[in-house]
């Protein structure tokens, strides 16, 4: 594996066999430092709402917008 910013390898660094870059699905860790945590969203200026009932949403992060949204 190598980053997209690296020059593509033409030969395997271990055995010298010719190789080419193949793109695959992005890997994302959902562990520590997750991007969608309320504290991270708020620090980046986003507002987040979570469903709290049927058509009822409560703000979990951010300062903009109403504290509660009710769609009924």
pLDDT, tens digit, for every residue of 48-69?
999 999 999 999 999 889 999 9
Query: Residue-wise over 29-47: b if at least 16 C-beta within 10 A, else e?
Result: eeeeeeeeeeeebbeeeee
User: Is the pLDDT assigned to residue 19 strictly greater than 90?
Assistant: yes
Closest CA to 50 of 40, 42, 61: 61
| Within-domain flag for 69 | yes
In a domain, 17, yes or no: no
- Torsion angles phi and psi, residue 41, rounded to 5: -60, -45
Host domain of residue 59: 47-72
Domain count, the chain: 1
**Per-residue confidence (pLDDT) for residue 32, from 0 to 100:** 58
Does residue 4 form part of some domain? Answer: no
64 is a domain residue: yes
């Amino acid at each position: 594996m190598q980053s997209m910013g690296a020059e593509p390898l033409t030969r395997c660094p271990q055995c010298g066999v010719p190789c080419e870059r193949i793109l695959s699905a992005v890997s994302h860790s959902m562990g520590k430092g997750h991007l969608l945590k309320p504290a991270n969203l708020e620090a980046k200026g986003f507002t987040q709402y979570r469903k709290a009932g049927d058509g009822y949403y409560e703000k979990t992060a951010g300062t903009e917008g109403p504290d509660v949204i009710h769609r009924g």
